[in-house]
Amino acid sequence: MSVPVTVAYGDGVGPEIMEAVLFVLKEARADVSIETVDIGHSQYKKEWPSGIAPSAWESISRTRLLLKAPTMTPQGGGHKSLNVALRQKLGLYVNVRPCVSYFPVVGTKHPNLDVVIIRENEEDTYSGVEHKLSEDTHECVKISTRSTSEKICAYAFNYARAHNRKKVTCFAKDNIMKMTDGILHSSFDKVAKGYPDIEANYYIVDVGMAKIASNPEDFDVVVTTNLYGDIVSDIVSLSSGSIGLTGSANIGDYYAMFEAVHGSAPDIAGQNVANPSGLLNAAVQMLVHIGQLDRAGVIRNAFLKTLEDGVHTADIYNEKTSLRKASTMEFAQAIVGNLGATPQRLKGLSLGKEAPSTGSPGYVSSNPRRVLVGVDVTVHWDKGTDIKELVGSLSGLSSELKLQLVYAKGLELWPKAPYSYTYVDLVSCRFYAEGKEEEGVDGREVGNLLLKMENAGIDTVKMVKLYLYDGGQGFFTP
């Protein structure tokens, strides 16, 4: 029985490359039945949230598989990213992006490049939780959980083992973001202990990015956060010769989505010149995921043979190494002509057993003792850099929670004033229950404090409670 797949043509070059990919799937006799839906720009115009109509959600819910062409996301404003909405609502917690060199057929400075990027897919700043807190200040919330960090790391090690890869590397920035990125690093170290047969190492992300940009062949599997993963996968994809060659799989416990790494490229839309390889390689990943390894291998080999034959789209065409510049559909037709053929020089990606979607038995809380000891209250302050008046007003409030410090953008302003700082219209005031670290304070004390601040004419903008977990600080110190 054919496997039902929801197909979305997307925006820009999406319809062209999707037609080419579906043509190859049909001719290769992939055992899938296609349900087509409209998503993206046309649906935003109809005011469907995230550019997806209810009928499209119904199809995805039914098939549990989505093959998606690129969609447009506006920069600096407008609607939420459709990709982010899909990943979050479908629980697609991991993004798998294999990047491989096609040298000597496609020019690259890194002929031995063969890297898989395992990217966390639901959290980080990519959650899109942003606020305009004042005229001057905007905020983006970085969300990180231990449960997802452990899950993504376990997936990376399981993937490496299933695909006979020998090393997993983690990128994070826990020298600065000690809690949010620190949780990925500690989870990585914890999970790695269960895979003694696989080498595990860690880089601060800026060092790791520099190393993988200059020597990608030194890496095997890389696991990292949502934002870093998006950046590093594009870097590695370009190192392979063209970002148009790379596909990606978004995997969850119940749903999966497959797409090209590149964007909708509206500047070349309708010209029949876009490279469909990224979406085709994503479709190959989909066939592997649903167990159609034979069809996946046939298509992959035909694709590689076509590259060897010198039939190339404009983005990878080179007068010295290419024999024919092909349009989008001509490239697909050449692949179909090579179905059943075997490449002679190029070695494709491993088509071994796909890593399980759930790589760990699930996060189990250690149930630490949580004690409320304070609160950070952000207030609107439009009287410049002199905060003595504010401190005087706050110090006079009657509460178990006493003003301990004032800071802005992580810099302490009071009681120790900095040598210099620029104007801000928001400052954060830390109130702490000194001597209450064992028993803590009643949560209602925070509400009473906020009410007193408002009654005193202080404009409160944001509040974050401060906790100790088994005696350890759950908050930063400026």
pLDDT at 250 over 90: yes
Which residues on adjacent β-strands are paired with residue 99? 115
Domain 109-227 has CATH 3.40.50: yes
212 with 236: CB under 8 angstroms? Answer: yes
The whole-number pLDDT of residue 144 equals 96
Q: Which residue has the higher pLDDT, 73 or 144?
A: 144
Average pLDDT, the chain: 91
Assign domain 370-473 to its CATH architecture. Answer: 2-Layer Sandwich (3.30)
d(Cα 445, Cα 455) in Å, to the nearest integer? Answer: 15
Local confidence band at 272 (pLDDT 50, 70, 90 cut-offs): very high
CA nearest to 334, candidates 118, 23, 92: 23
The whole-number pLDDT of residue 357 equals 47
Residues 182-193, mean pLDDT to the nearest whole number: 98
The whole-number pLDDT of residue 80 equals 64
466 with 432: CB under 8 angstroms? Answer: yes
The count of C-alpha atoms lying within 13 angstroms of the C-alpha of 192, restricted to the half-sphere facing its C-beta, is 17
d(Cα 469, Cα 291) in Å, to the nearest integer? Answer: 45
CATH 3.40.718.10 positions along the chain are 1-95+240-351
Instruction: State the DSSP code for 258.
Output: E
What pTM, to 2 d.p., does this model score? 0.90
- One-letter amino acid for residue 229 of the chain: G
329 phi and psi, to 5 degrees?
Answer: -75, -30
Helices marked H in 195-262: 205-214, 226-239
d(Cα 468, Cα 374) in Å, to the nearest integer? Answer: 9
- The region of weakest confidence among 69-73, 123-127, 218-222, 296-300 is 69-73
For 434, the 3-state DSSP assignment is: coil
SS3 content of the chain, % helix, strand, coil (to 5): 35, 25, 40
Q: Which residue has the higher pLDDT, 321 or 17?
A: 17
pLDDT at 242 over 70: yes
The whole-number pLDDT of residue 77 equals 54
446 phi and psi, to 5 degrees?
Answer: -65, -45
Q: Which residue has the higher pLDDT, 81 or 477?
A: 477
CATH 3.40.50 positions along the chain are 109-227
The whole-number pLDDT of residue 40 equals 80
The structure tokens listed for 336 are: 């179909």
The distance of Cα 462 from the centroid of its chain, to the nearest Å, equals 27
- The region of weakest confidence among 156-170, 176-190, 392-406 is 392-406
CA nearest to 300, candidates 274, 282, 326: 282
CATH 3.30.70.1570 positions along the chain are 370-473
Angle at 145 between CA 252 and CA 197, to 5 degrees: 70
pLDDT at 153 over 70: yes
The whole-number pLDDT of residue 362 equals 64
d(Cα 430, Cα 424) in Å, to the nearest integer? Answer: 17
The structure tokens listed for 42 are: 């046309």
The count of C-alpha atoms lying within 13 angstroms of the C-alpha of 177, restricted to the half-sphere facing its C-beta, is 17
Residues 225-234, mean pLDDT to the nearest whole number: 95
Q: How far is CA 76 from CA 81, 229, 293, in A?
A: 11, 21, 42
Residues 314-339, mean pLDDT to the nearest whole number: 95
The pLDDT tens digits of the residues spanning 80-112 come to: 678 888 998 999 999 999 999 999 999 889 999
| Beta-strand pair 324-325/311-312 | parallel
The pLDDT tens digits of the residues spanning 343-385 come to: 999 986 555 555 454 455 566 777 899 999 999 999 999 876 6
% the chain with pLDDT above 70: 93
CA nearest to 96, candidates 143, 8, 155: 155
**Cβ contacts of 61 within 8 Å, gap of 6 or more:** none
Q: How far is CA 295 from CA 152, 223, 291, 339, 359, in A?
A: 28, 29, 9, 10, 26
- What is the per-residue burial (b if ≥16 Cβ within 10 Å, else e) of 236-268? bbbbbbbbbbbbbbbbbeebbbbbbbbbbbeeb
The whole-number pLDDT of residue 29 equals 97
- The region of weakest confidence among 3-12, 37-46, 351-360, 445-454 is 351-360
71 with 82: CB under 8 angstroms? Answer: yes
For 313, the 3-state DSSP assignment is: coil
393 phi and psi, to 5 degrees?
Answer: -65, -40
The whole-number pLDDT of residue 206 equals 97
Which residues on adjacent β-strands are paired with residue 203? 171
For 471, the 3-state DSSP assignment is: coil
Residues 67-87, mean pLDDT to the nearest whole number: 77
The whole-number pLDDT of residue 421 equals 77
CA nearest to 229, candidates 121, 312, 146, 148: 121
466 phi and psi, to 5 degrees?
Answer: -110, 130
- The region of weakest confidence among 240-249, 319-328, 417-426 is 417-426
CATH superfamily of 1-95+240-351: Isopropylmalate Dehydrogenase (3.40.718.10)
Local confidence band at 399 (pLDDT 50, 70, 90 cut-offs): confident
% the chain with pLDDT above 90: 76
